[in-house]
A and B are shown apart, each in its own frame.
Chain A
Amino acid sequence: MERETLEVDVLIVGGGPAGMSAALRLSQLQKQKGGEALAIAVLEKAREVGAHMLSGAVLDPSALRLLVPDFQARGAPLASEVRKDEVYFLTRSSKLRFPITPPPLQNHGNYIISLNRFVKWLGGLVEAEGTDVFTGFSASEVLYENDGVVGIRTGDRGIGKHGEKKSNFEAGVDIRAKVTILADGVRGNLTKAVVRRLALDAGRAPQLYAIGIKELWEVPKDRLAAGTVLHTMGFPLRMEEFGGGFIYAMPDGVLSVGFVTGLDYRDPMFDPHVRFQHFKRHPLVAAVLEGGQMVRYGAKALPEGGWHTIPRVYADGLLIAGDAGGFLNSMRLKGVHLAMRTGMLAAETAFEAIRAGDTSAARLRAYEVAIGASDVRRELYPVRNVHQSFSYGLIPGLLYSGLSLVSGGWWIRDPMPAHAGYERVARIAEYYREGRPDPDSTVNPAKIDRRLTFDRLTNVHYSGTRHAEDQPSHLLVYDTDICRTRCREEYGNPCTRFCPANVYEMVDGGDGTKRLQINASNCVHCKTCDIMDPYQIIDWVPPEGGGGPQYEGM
């Protein structure tokens, strides 16, 4: 097949905070150091910059200050400075406020932002420097030569449901680059493939993930002062589950309301979306949302494993930055500044390497060295075992986290042993010894009133997700027989619960059994299924470019 080829010096895959910071840093270096202009391209699967961005988000502005020192003057969309931190421990019907805010959750000097707006702004700065941002293009595979990365191939467009070429078929383009910076986000499809092929995770601990589900609400203006940051622990999670809720107040009565759950729970019937509904029904939260309106919905996984789970982030022609590499501080619940910082460091390494005419792994290792000497390590290393410690339960987790603040994260066994989340899920027979729950119904359901609480399908509508309908499913399930037989028996089809977008459904197979139906066009690109399916037979690949959520204001 004929393919077009595009040659650039640096290709950045993923236009999030890491990718955009890398692009911006490259054009700054270009200006500072002169010389022949580098050709830079940014590839982004969303239809427009920022459309797939979702985070809490409270921004630590440290990296922003380095990247754009005059960010205030240049109109950075920072919704509100944090003015008040509150942390609560919730029980079913009451709350206990922490007398002091634990230091990692102190947000003095930080800003509440909409990551969607923030990245849109950052993307504007990148484009103003003359860098091409190709939106609406997904990257489907990595191009290798002798196990070195030489670029990527973009996804084909115009393929029908059954794999046939439609009249608007366009073959994907090969983009070849001296250095490819993968910033394809949490569980990025290219990072996943390249880590596997080049064994970049050899000797590292398994990544631990969480899923964050978030809604944007509009409530009466005087409900919660702008700049209020509220975190909760406890209900609706049990001691054995990791996670918590948040409410961030922006001006004009706009609230970010969300719930994060560790994707290393044991209960196979656990349903993060249902827990989020329970969270909203808690008196503390319900009182804040009363009379308000949910206006947006979304979900995204987070890499929470920390320092020991970060793969080797360089190879011949390759650098990995941001969530794709696992740069996130799960104790501070922050990753945007680390994404930006690693993006910048990747840009610096790539720039020097290209100028030196050597983009081999030996040269690009400078990136790892730079990370080791930077704030990124200073921040992540002391909390390297935090999420892992919660796999022993909430109390041991809290105790260890407290201890790590003074001990620098030391533990008898370092790295603290942990299993990948999908391995921790128990079988129904092990977990429910008293009696087997019906896999098609919810254990401990939340009442859905479509005012405060919503069913998944209604929520999906508010994510603005759209995909071209006539295309193959971008969720590859390698053996749907397992769903029908083994998984139904052993785990009760947990995909129908951990997916926050109603993509997976078990429907009547017509022969008395249930079969898996994949509603691929509901997908919000959170990656949870790829992470959490107990048999690891689900592969998330990008749909036709441009498809996906529309996270305006998220």
Chain B
Amino acid sequence: MILVIAEQRDGQLNRATWETVAAAQQAGGPVKVVVLGSGVESVATDVAAADAAEVIVVDAAPLGQYTADGYVQALAALIQQENPALVFLPHTYQTRDFAPALAARLGRALVTDATAVRKQDDGFVYTRPVFQGKLGADVAANGPTPHLVTFQIGSYRADAAARGASPAAVRRADIAIDAGAIRQKPEAPFKEAKQAVDLSQAERIVAVGRGIKSQDNLKLAEQLAQALGAEIAASRPICDAGWLPMDRQIGSSGQTVAPKLYIALGISGAIQHLVGMKGSRTIVAINKDAEAPIFEIADYGIAGDLFEIVPAMIAELQK
């Protein structure tokens, strides 16, 4: 049995959970999904749509707000109770915070940032990126099970998670949380520098590169993003120039994303940028230079002047 740890905040399910469910299903299941928190019935109901053996809820007041100690305590107890073969987690910021401690507490191997899993002989082999994504290394985990595995955002598609014919059963696990053993006291969440965006959650992204030429022209890209309901992002030179904040940067020194739609405007496609977005489902590239490497990975490429093409796209979308 594979236990998938769902991620939620304030009753909102993180989309990456579905990707992890898909990974678990493709690894051969059966799959059980755990939802932690306080008052998370609606999240459990959402997740129960998945083709899963059951949904386990750990509902306790001390889990109302995320703390590493709280999650480690709850999950360590639950994993010992359920004794799954594997534990899968989405490789989110939150997972990165508690998963190492959880693995250490259980004394189990942890494989992080996996992009694929497959059965081999008696065990499982995971692919994980090395050398900044240039190579994929196949790794297997040693030692007693369950092994813990986190999956890179976008490595499995959320809509590939099979839905069940009828909702999965939801069960409350009987786990007591010792609030006194939680050493962290979470403060109210804040966004650093006003705008910490998690682009990995965006379904559509409009990204701009040097071809946009000036900061004023960003308005054009923003209009397109608005018409599409997309997030705006950029390649390195734009953020270096301070035209967009650094947290909008996609690539080896920025974020890695895999939206459904990625529109690259005036981005030549340096490999440093490509490693951050090549997992996108549909890539549309607009660039003046027909030889630009971005066209090698684009599903739709337009070799032309973005200042003519983008206004036409906006006009069409607004019809």
Does A associate with B in a complex?
Answer: yes
Instruction: Please name all residues of chain B whose beta carbon is closer than 8 Å to the beta carbon of A464 when the two chains form the complex.
Output: 131-132
How many Å lie between the Cα of A508 and that of B243 in the bound state?
14
Q: Does B246 contact A (CB under 8 A)?
A: yes
- Shortest CB-to-CB span from A254 to chain B, Å, is 15
Task: Find residues 444-503 in chain A having any chain B CB closer than 8 Å to their own CB.
Answer: 450, 457-458, 460-462, 464, 466, 469-470
Q: Does A407 contact B (CB under 8 A)?
A: no
Q: A462-B134, A464-B132, A517-B240 are in contact. Are A457 and B272 (CB under 8 A)?
A: yes
Nearest CB in chain A to that of B275: its residue? A461
B252's contact among A450, A461, A519, by CB below 8 Å, is which? Answer: A461
How many Å lie between the Cα of A457 and that of B134 in the bound state?
15
Asked whether A461 lies within 8 Å of B253 as measured between CB atoms, the reply is: no
Asked whether B270 lies within 8 Å of A519 as measured between CB atoms, the reply is: no
Nearest CB in chain A to that of B213: its residue? A508
How many Å lie between the Cα of A310 and that of B213 in the bound state?
49
Asked whether A519 lies within 8 Å of B271 as measured between CB atoms, the reply is: no
Q: Does B229 contact A (CB under 8 A)?
A: no
Task: Find residues 121-151 in chain B having any chain A CB closer than 8 Å to their own CB.
Answer: 131-132, 134
Nearest CB in chain B to that of A458: its residue? B271
Q: A450-B293, A457-B270 are in contact. Are A470 and B253 (CB under 8 A)?
A: no
Asked whether A461 lies within 8 Å of B246 as measured between CB atoms, the reply is: no
- Shortest CB-to-CB span from B216 to chain A, Å, is 10
How many Å lie between the Cα of A450 and that of B294 in the bound state?
13
Instruction: Please name all residues of chain A whose beta carbon is closer than 8 Å to the beta carbon of B275 when the two chains form the complex.
Output: 461
Nearest CB in chain A to that of B291: its residue? A448
Nearest CB in chain B to that of A467: its residue? B253
B270's contact among A458, A466, A470, by CB below 8 Å, is which? Answer: A458
How many Å lie between the Cα of A469 and that of B272 in the bound state?
14
Chain B, interface SS category? loop
Asked whether B246 lies within 8 Å of A510 as measured between CB atoms, the reply is: no
Q: Interface digits, B153-181 against A, CB 8 Å rule (1 contact, 0 not)? A: 00000000000000000000000000000
Q: Does A55 contact B (CB under 8 A)?
A: no
Q: Interface digits, B218-255 against A, CB 8 Å rule (1 contact, 0 not)? A: 00000000000000000011001100001000001100
Task: Find residues 504-544 in chain A having any chain B CB closer than 8 Å to their own CB.
Answer: 507-508, 510, 517, 519, 521
Asked whether B252 lies within 8 Å of A510 as measured between CB atoms, the reply is: no
Q: Interface digits, A272-290 against B, CB 8 Å rule (1 contact, 0 not)? A: 0000000000000000000
- Shortest CB-to-CB span from B318 to chain A, Å, is 31
Task: Find residues 195-219 in chain A having any chain B CB closer than 8 Å to their own CB.
Answer: none
Nearest CB in chain A to that of B215: its residue? A510
Asked whether A469 lies within 8 Å of B246 as measured between CB atoms, the reply is: yes
Asked whether B270 lies within 8 Å of A510 as measured between CB atoms, the reply is: no
Asked whether A519 lies within 8 Å of B240 as measured between CB atoms, the reply is: yes
Instruction: Please name all residues of chain B whose beta carbon is closer than 8 Å to the beta carbon of A519 when the two chains form the complex.
Output: 236, 240
How many Å lie between the Cα of A367 and that of B128 in the bound state?
50
Q: A458-B270, A461-B271 are in contact. Are A510 and B134 (CB under 8 A)?
A: no
Instruction: Please name all residues of chain A whose beta carbon is closer than 8 Å to the beta carbon of B42 when the two chains form the complex.
Output: none
Asked whether B134 lies within 8 Å of A461 as measured between CB atoms, the reply is: yes
Asked whether A521 lies within 8 Å of B134 as measured between CB atoms, the reply is: no
How many Å lie between the Cα of A519 and that of B272 in the bound state?
13
Q: Does B214 contact A (CB under 8 A)?
A: yes
Asked whether A457 lies within 8 Å of B253 as measured between CB atoms, the reply is: no
Nearest CB in chain B to that of A519: its residue? B240
Instruction: Please name all residues of chain B whose beta carbon is closer than 8 Å to the beta carbon of A552 when the two chains form the complex.
Output: 131
Instruction: Please name all residues of chain B whose beta carbon is closer than 8 Å to the beta carbon of A510 when the two chains form the complex.
Output: 214
Nearest CB in chain A to that of B249: its residue? A469
- Shortest CB-to-CB span from A273 to chain B, Å, is 15
Instruction: Please name all residues of chain A whose beta carbon is closer than 8 Å to the beta carbon of B213 when the two chains form the complex.
Output: 508
Instruction: Please name all residues of chain B whose beta carbon is closer than 8 Å to the beta carbon of A469 when the two chains form the complex.
Output: 246, 253
Instruction: Please name all residues of chain A whose beta carbon is closer than 8 Å to the beta carbon of B293 when the two chains form the complex.
Output: 450
Nearest CB in chain B to that of A510: its residue? B214
Instruction: Please name all residues of chain A whose beta carbon is closer than 8 Å to the beta carbon of B252 when the two chains form the complex.
Output: 461
How many Å lie between the Cα of A50 and that of B204 in the bound state?
42
Asked whether B131 lies within 8 Å of A521 as measured between CB atoms, the reply is: no
Task: Find residues 361-419 in chain A having any chain B CB closer than 8 Å to their own CB.
Answer: none
- Shortest CB-to-CB span from A448 to chain B, Å, is 9
Instruction: Please name all residues of chain A whose beta carbon is closer than 8 Å to the beta carbon of B134 when the two chains form the complex.
Output: 461-462
- Shortest CB-to-CB span from A331 to chain B, Å, is 36
How many Å lie between the Cα of A334 and that of B188 in the bound state?
60
- Shortest CB-to-CB span from B199 to chain A, Å, is 16
Instruction: Please name all residues of chain A whose beta carbon is closer than 8 Å to the beta carbon of B214 when the two chains form the complex.
Output: 510
Instruction: Please name all residues of chain A whose beta carbon is closer than 8 Å to the beta carbon of B246 when the two chains form the complex.
Output: 469-470
Q: Interface digits, B187-199 against A, CB 8 Å rule (1 contact, 0 not)? A: 0000000000000
Most buried by A among B236, B237, B271: B271
Asked whether B272 lies within 8 Å of A461 as measured between CB atoms, the reply is: yes
How many Å lie between the Cα of A517 and that of B242 in the bound state?
12
How many Å lie between the Cα of A521 and that of B254 in the bound state?
12
Nearest CB in chain B to that of A468: its residue? B253
- Shortest CB-to-CB span from A452 to chain B, Å, is 15
- Shortest CB-to-CB span from B292 to chain A, Å, is 11
Asked whether B240 lies within 8 Å of A457 as measured between CB atoms, the reply is: no
Instruction: Please name all residues of chain B whose beta carbon is closer than 8 Å to the beta carbon of A460 when the two chains form the complex.
Output: 272
- Shortest CB-to-CB span from A130 to chain B, Å, is 28
How many Å lie between the Cα of A460 and that of B251 in the bound state?
14
How many Å lie between the Cα of A457 and that of B268 in the bound state?
11
Q: Interface digits, B242-284 against A, CB 8 Å rule (1 contact, 0 not)? A: 0000100000110000000000000000111001000000000
- Shortest CB-to-CB span from A467 to chain B, Å, is 8
Most buried by B among A450, A457, A460: A457
Q: Interface digits, A423-462 against B, CB 8 Å rule (1 contact, 0 not)? A: 0000000000000000000000000001000000110111
- Shortest CB-to-CB span from A28 to chain B, Å, is 36
Q: A462-B134, A464-B132, A470-B246 are in contact. Are A521 and B253 (CB under 8 A)?
A: yes
How many Å lie between the Cα of A458 and that of B272 in the bound state?
8
How many Å lie between the Cα of A550 and that of B132 in the bound state?
11
Asked whether A461 lies within 8 Å of B132 as measured between CB atoms, the reply is: yes
- Shortest CB-to-CB span from A466 to chain B, Å, is 8
Nearest CB in chain A to that of B251: its residue? A461
Instruction: Please name all residues of chain B whose beta carbon is closer than 8 Å to the beta carbon of A450 when the two chains form the complex.
Output: 293
Nearest CB in chain A to that of B236: its residue? A519
Nearest CB in chain B to that of A521: its residue? B253
Nearest CB in chain A to that of B239: its residue? A469
How many Å lie between the Cα of A552 and that of B275 in the bound state?
20
How many Å lie between the Cα of A457 and that of B275 in the bound state?
13
How many Å lie between the Cα of A441 and that of B214 in the bound state?
22
How many Å lie between the Cα of A517 and that of B240 in the bound state?
9
How many Å lie between the Cα of A451 and that of B246 in the bound state?
31
- Shortest CB-to-CB span from B5 to chain A, Å, is 29
Instruction: Please name all residues of chain B whose beta carbon is closer than 8 Å to the beta carbon of A508 when the two chains form the complex.
Output: 213
- Shortest CB-to-CB span from B289 to chain A, Å, is 13
Asked whether B132 lies within 8 Å of A457 as measured between CB atoms, the reply is: no
Given pairs A457-B271, A461-B271, A508-B213, 20 additional interface contacts (CB within 8 A): A450-B293, A457-B272, A458-B270, A458-B271, A461-B132, A461-B134, A461-B252, A461-B270, A461-B272, A462-B134, A464-B131, A464-B132, A466-B132, A466-B253, A469-B246, A469-B253, A507-B237, A510-B214, A517-B241, A552-B131
**Closest 7 A-B residue pairs measured CB to CB?**
A461-B271, A457-B270, A458-B271, A469-B253, A461-B272, A464-B131, A521-B253
Which residues in A have some Cβ–Cβ distance to B below 8 Å?
Answer: 450, 457-458, 460-462, 464, 466, 469-470, 507-508, 510, 517, 519, 521, 550, 552
List 30 A-B pairs, Cβ < 8 Å: A457-B270, A457-B271, A457-B272, A458-B270, A458-B271, A460-B272, A461-B132, A461-B252, A461-B270, A461-B271, A461-B272, A462-B134, A464-B131, A464-B132, A466-B132, A466-B253, A469-B246, A469-B253, A470-B246, A507-B237, A507-B241, A508-B213, A510-B214, A517-B240, A517-B241, A519-B236, A519-B240, A521-B253, A550-B131, A552-B131
